[in-house]
Amino acid sequence: MPQNLLEQLRQFTVVVADTGDIEAMEKFRPQDATTNPSLITAAAQMPQYRPIVDEVLKEAHKELGDGASDKAVANLAFKRLAIVFGEKILKIIPGRVSTEVDARLSYDTQGTIEQARSIIRMYDAAGIGHERVLIKIASTWEGIRAAEVLEREGIHCNLTLLFGLHQAIAAADAGVTLISPFVGRILDWYKKDTGKDYQGADDPGVQSVTRVYNYLKKFGYKTLVMGASFRNLGEIRELAGCDLLTISPQFLGELESTEGTLPRMLDPQKAAALPIEKIKVDKATFDRMHAEDRMATDKLKEGIDGFAAALVKLENLLAARLAELESRAPAAV
């Protein structure tokens, strides 16, 4: 019986669900799952998850007391909400969940370290071990330095919003567990900048992730590469063989319903044979390479701003929901 593309992909790539929708995870049963503020915000607005949101709000209100403002309660609640979704996700999947540090801390090394430790403490309190959690941090120089400290403490990190080779090398040198280069967002930038359309191996996002993968495999780094942010099935096909791919429920469904042959495109043995020059990435080199890469500069800033805006939206949604709960049944909150 012929295998669908999803079954074939799983033979050489770990499939990760790129969603905060628990029902989608129950359907596709991925190995791992990753969320971000935008996905959590979307999930929090779904009617089926309203009881979860309400319970988190009530607990946050109880902890802070009646004198706390709705904004303060909402701020605590959104941090707890990511953990609650993480707990529920980990009951479905056998692997790990990625939980993101506040994007507004992306250039604050110490702030990132402290919030990551806080996230791990909350998972610990829920009886979930470090080995099942990845702390998601933006791939700024400051974020990478935070991840280096956390990895030494046994807290595993997923460096996200990664658009350039300099970010990947710096993260791998820091010993991070996993990096998430963003395929589709790179494509978006080049399409807008050049006015061209790109297909298959010509896709700049595919080329970027392939370059990152080959470099890390060539020089024996333990850091895993997880392609993220896909715009079409062609990108996924071209990156078959990447250590992990985090895929939306829409594309998981398309892969599952599509038959055909899916050849392995990325392979560590092939990478080892490539003539690749080793690059030493200190802060000066990182800053220079980042400044020279307009795409990486634009997309990192845009990504951080977008995740920060999603957090503000989520806080506002939670504050509005809390006010609604208080007006309906003040004694119960």
Annotated catalytic residue, options 136, 217, 218, 299: 136
Cβ contacts of residue 7 below 8 Å, gap of 6+?
none
24-37: string of b/e by CB count within 10 Å (b at 16+)? bbeebebebbbbbb
Which residues does residue 196 pair with via DSSP β-bridges, in sequence order?
Answer: none
* Residue 280 annotated among the catalytic residues of the structure: no
At CB < 8 A and 24+ separation, what contacts does 54-60 make?
Answer: 54/321, 54/325, 55/84, 56/80, 56/81, 56/84, 57/318, 57/321, 57/322, 57/325, 57/333, 58/325, 58/332, 58/333
Q: Which residues are catalytic?
A: 136
